[in-house]
Amino acid sequence: MAYLESKEVIHRDLTVRNCLLSKWNVVKITDFGLSLQGITKVLLPRARAPIRYVPPETLKTALFSHKSDVWGYGIALFEIWSKPHEEPYKDIQNNRQLRKKILEGYRLTPPKGMPKKMQELMLKTQSASPDNRPTFKTIKKIYFGEEKSTFREYVSRIFRIS
């Protein structure tokens, strides 16, 4: 995602179902059907957006940015670390209710067993203000650059849910 961000690509559909793991433990992002390059903010009809992965500002304005992808990444972290694999906001089935709750500030709680560093990252990605969310470059540097054991745990968890 740091690479896509550096190339000004907004994925707009960053979900667990669009992440594949190679035999070399490299995560591959798929389904670029909604993505755009060279645009920092774009409109998308709300009906096409995966609401469980959409940040509050997009729910309000239908505008997407790189920080929208960061929000989706945080929701994906929740899914990967939850035991057993759990749909985000599973207790809220009505999209209208879910939209209202997210706009009111409701956030996912990090799952039990998630390492503290991943909990910290997940919570930062769910910041109400996009400006307070880290960039993918920052995520890569701080959370995966030096702490290889955290990345190994992350990949190991992906294998357990697949």
Output the DSSP codes for 54-73. --HHHHHH-EE-HHHHHHHH
Task: Measure CA 2 to chain center.
Answer: 13
- Calculated CA dihedral for residues 94, 122, 13, 29, nearest 10 degrees: -140
As annotated, the active-site residues are 13
